[in-house]
Chains A and B, each alone.
Chain A
Amino acid sequence: MNSQLERIFMKVQKPGRYTGGELNSVVKDPAAVDFRFAFCFPDLYEVGMSHLGMKILYSLYNREENMWCERVFAPDTDMEAMMCKEGIPLFGLESRDPIRDFDMVGFTLQYEMSYTAILNMLDLAEIPLRTSQRTSLAPMIIAGGPCACNPEPLADFIDLFVLGEGEEVNLELAHLFLQAKKEGWSREEYLRRACKIEGVYVPSLYEVSYQEDGTIRAVTPRDGAPAVVHKRIVKDLDRVFFPDSFVVPFLETVHDRAVIELFRGCIRGCRFCQAGFIYRPFREKNYETLNKNGCDLCASTGYDEISLSSLSTSDYSQLEDLLEEMLPWTEQDKVNLSLPSLRIDNFSPSLMEKITKVRKSGLTFAPEAGTQRMRDVINKNVTEEEVLATCRTAFEGGYTSVKLYFMMGLPTETKEDIEGVVDLAQKVVDLFYSLPDKPKGKGVNVTVSLACFVPKPFTPFEFEPQDTEEMLREKQHHMVGYNRSKKIRINYHESQTSFLEAVLARGDRRLCAVLEDAWKNGCKLDGWTEHFNYNAWMAAFEKNGVDGRFYANRTRSYDEVMPWDHLDYGVTKQFLIRENQKAHGDAPTPNCREKCSGCGANCLIGRSCF
């Protein structure tokens, strides 16, 4: 296969995506390992190689002497055509062996629009798509990641899902698999045993029945599977495994840098934000651990940038300590610090001073909504004064361009809320010109980036309808027409993609057939505008008699059985209902540090969060 591959590497764009051999990639002797794992990222190399979760699990497996984890990405269309023509099945980058011969194949579910890529990768690997079509113990097809919180649209294809954090449960599954191999279990036997591991959901062990109106009647476990599957978390982040080296890609990837993880969870509880709920409870890493993580990574990779990763960087309680620790050596080694996800309300001048020591570029903030009422509804506890004060700090610090993230189509949204977005952007422009000590000789640029709201499971908005495509398009046009300033640029997302996201995010098992047909119709890299084919999706819905609007645009009652109600992510449904009611009363909820709102997630650590 190797000489065949060498021949096609010369004929495709960016062969470095498929060759392997990068610094710190791990090559073992296949004869000397008992367990081979294919970590599959259902998107192109450049996207997948930017993902921290893969780096963690890659090192976690490869630290085990008898295990070998390899990376697999979705090939681009030119490579795929070559592989099909030459009869080369999907292979692991490290060994170039076909992954259909591996013990376990794991997919990470980062976003809904990658689901067709999963089917395509299984097909390219020559692995039967459906769980029911697979008969041997290996390869076992598993999946995890944020979208595993409602994995039902993938239930027919994936043997088991890992809910929550993977650092512990992945190795438990691997060890169980080694036992299965030794004792000659069937795949059914393995799955029956695996479902007893906390955090493991085996969809084939659950029967779903439906009401006449199309909603779910009940989800019934069988063969001793637990009625409710609880997600797994790591209790102590200072003791959790963290890699001291990353695979360093040759070609440029989306994020090509060292990453340290400040904390998991979020104290904010913005009601649209799935990550803010499913990663709870809030747990921080100590700044000394983090400094060491960063130091080790830079030494082993040679990276000149470290990203401080979390859902809200400035909520890290030891941020100033961490920066104090890191600034001396990063400045000396010319390593840039990147602080994404800064919040508007606690972006202090002293923090500003610390980050501007390193590099000056554009700043990005997310007010998310244009009016105070709307921000109260979504619980984005940020005021207009804070937005403007932050921009003032930024402008006075020499910045001239600001990017503001907003959403449209939020629950209870009115025309005033839409216009409020432009009004706020205009106030930022006016503020710039009102400053006596504004940066000289430069104009201001305010970019408004507008996403369509997608209601997600395990959020207080899981009950809410998404605006129809027509409504969203109308709002987009209204906003663009309402803007009068050349200093404001408005970018908005394609509403068709958001619609499909909404369908898949809250979908059930009846979407499996739709997904398969969409893939058969040619959908495989839906996250890429140039490959996205809405009509192919619509044809798949029609063929299966499924109406996407049932999933995207319908209001759920509080007592409806959700497709994910048998999965437990810590936050209780009662809490989500309470928050939903507060949203409809325009009432915000204080952040977790100020006051515990009793979401239920702290039962996972068995103590209060703070």
Chain B
Amino acid sequence: MEPIRVFYRKTDTAKYISHLDINRCFQRAMKRAGIPLWFTEGFNPHAYLTFPLPLALGYESLCECVDFRLTQPMEPGEIVDRLNRVLPMGLKAYAAAPPVYKAADIALAAYTVWLTLADTDSEQSVRILEAFFAQPEITAMKRTKKGEREISLKEHLHGLSLQADGDMVLLSVQLPAGNELNINPTLVLDAFGVQTGMLIDRLAVQKTAVLTKDGKNFA
């Protein structure tokens, strides 16, 4: 019954695997890998996997993790090796260890975003985006289980930076993540689109780090 947290990258076509589907995908991978996964007991036993921080469909990530329990001990290195032999393209495990933090300790996630604005070159796009983010107040409509509500974004944008990267704009930002408040880059960019009427043409998002309240890497 040892708890284990496996860290993995989710890139390329794997970014189109939805959060619901990634669970099934890992269950099957564990089975193929022969990892002694703990199953729930009871009428309909099923593999028990939890994902501390869900990833939006279409985002890449360098820092995903999945928690599960073992029925027999297995070396973390062995788990990583076994998984990598059977995982589909675009999923790659890089570390395994007993969890240090709880899912509730997650406070921030860092993202790198590449984008282009329709009919606008990257230098010009950077200036337009800088002007947008320089406003004293930025609001967005966030959909929650209780319906739509307006939230203020400005104070939640940490370490924002913008630069032209070839024909694309490279945006780095840290945003609130976890159970209490979760803001993802799409929400921010939707707010930009609504306010400016500008169309985002190409968009690629990559989650690069998950951080705790103390600014430590989630481990």
Contacts and interface: CB of A to CB of B under 8 A. Distances in A.
Interface string A293-336: 00000111111100000000000000000000000000001100
A19 interface: yes
Nearest to A359: B44
A19 B57 CA distance: 13
Interface in A1-48: 3, 6-7, 9-10, 14-16, 19-23
Given A250-B16, A250-B17, A21 B90 contact: yes
A302 B30 contact: yes
Contact of A7 (B18, B20, B24, B202): B202
B57 A15 contact: yes
A143 interface: no
Interface in B44-74: 44-45, 57-58
Contact of A252 (B16, B21, B31, B44): B21
A304 B32 contact: no
Interface string B12-46: 11101110110011011111100000010000110
A23 B88 contact: yes
B85 to A, nearest CB: 12
Nearest to B204: A6
B95 interface: no
A357 to B, nearest CB: 13
A26 to B, nearest CB: 12
B58 A9 contact: yes
Given A21-B90, A299-B32, A300-B32, A15 B202 contact: no
Given A16-B18, A250-B21, A252-B21, A303 B28 contact: yes
Contacts of B86: 23, 302
Nearest to A256: B24
Contact of A19 (B13, B24, B31, B204): B13
B28 to A, nearest CB: 3
| Interface residues of A, dominant DSSP | loop
B203 interface: yes
B89 interface: yes
A302 B28 contact: yes
Given A3-B202, A10-B58, A302 B17 contact: no
Contacts of A303: 28, 31
A121 interface: no
Interface in A162-200: none
A225 interface: no
Nearest to A335: B31
Nearest to B203: A10
A251 interface: yes
A23 B20 CA distance: 17
A308 B200 CA distance: 50
Nearest to B44: A359
Contacts of B17: 16, 250
Given A9-B58, A21-B89, A16 B28 contact: no
Nearest to B37: A334
Contacts of A298: 31
A248 interface: yes
Contacts of B12: 21
A9 B16 contact: yes
Contacts of A20: 13
Given A21-B90, A250-B21, A16 B16 contact: yes
A298 B24 CA distance: 14
A235 to B, nearest CB: 34
Contacts of A15: 16, 57-58
Which of B14, B20, B88 counts the most A-chain CB atoms under 10 A from its CB?
B88
A299 B25 CA distance: 14
Which of A251, A298, A299 counts the most B-chain CB atoms under 10 A from its CB?
A251
Contacts of A251: 18, 21
Contacts of A3: 202
Contact of A301 (B16, B21, B28): B28
B132 to A, nearest CB: 21
B27 A334 contact: no
A23 B86 CA distance: 8
A234 B45 CA distance: 40
Nearest to A333: B31
A334 B89 CA distance: 26
B117 to A, nearest CB: 14
A124 B98 CA distance: 51
A394 B58 CA distance: 46
A299 B34 CA distance: 9
Interface in A348-385: 359
Contacts of A300: 32
B18 A334 contact: no
A302 B32 CA distance: 5
Contact of B16 (A19, A299, A302, A304): A19
B23 to A, nearest CB: 11
A333 B35 CA distance: 11
Nearest to B39: A334
A359 B45 CA distance: 10
Nearest to A14: B18
Nearest to B21: A250
Which of B12, B16, B32 counts the most A-chain CB atoms under 10 A from its CB?
B16
A526 to B, nearest CB: 28
Interface string B80-108: 00000010111000000000000000000
A9 B202 CA distance: 11
B21 A16 contact: yes
Nearest to A302: B28
A484 to B, nearest CB: 34
Contact of B45 (A252, A302, A334): A334
A298 B86 CA distance: 13
A21 B24 CA distance: 16
Given A15-B58, A20-B13, A250 B25 contact: yes
Contacts of B202: 3, 7
Contacts of B18: 14, 16, 250-251
Interface in A255-307: 298-304
Nearest to A27: B89
Contacts of A359: 44
List the 9 closest A-B pairs by CB distance, nearest first: A302-B28, A21-B13, A302-B31, A23-B88, A302-B32, A15-B16, A250-B17, A250-B21, A19-B16
Interface of A: 3, 6-7, 9-10, 14-16, 19-23, 248, 250-252, 298-304, 333-334, 359
Given A250-B88, A252-B20, 4 more contacts: A16-B16, A250-B17, A252-B24, A304-B28
Interface of B: 12-14, 16-18, 20-21, 24-25, 27-32, 39, 44-45, 57-58, 86, 88-90, 201-204
15 contacts: A6-B204, A14-B18, A16-B21, A19-B13, A20-B13, A250-B17, A250-B18, A252-B24, A301-B32, A302-B29, A302-B31, A302-B32, A303-B28, A304-B28, A333-B31
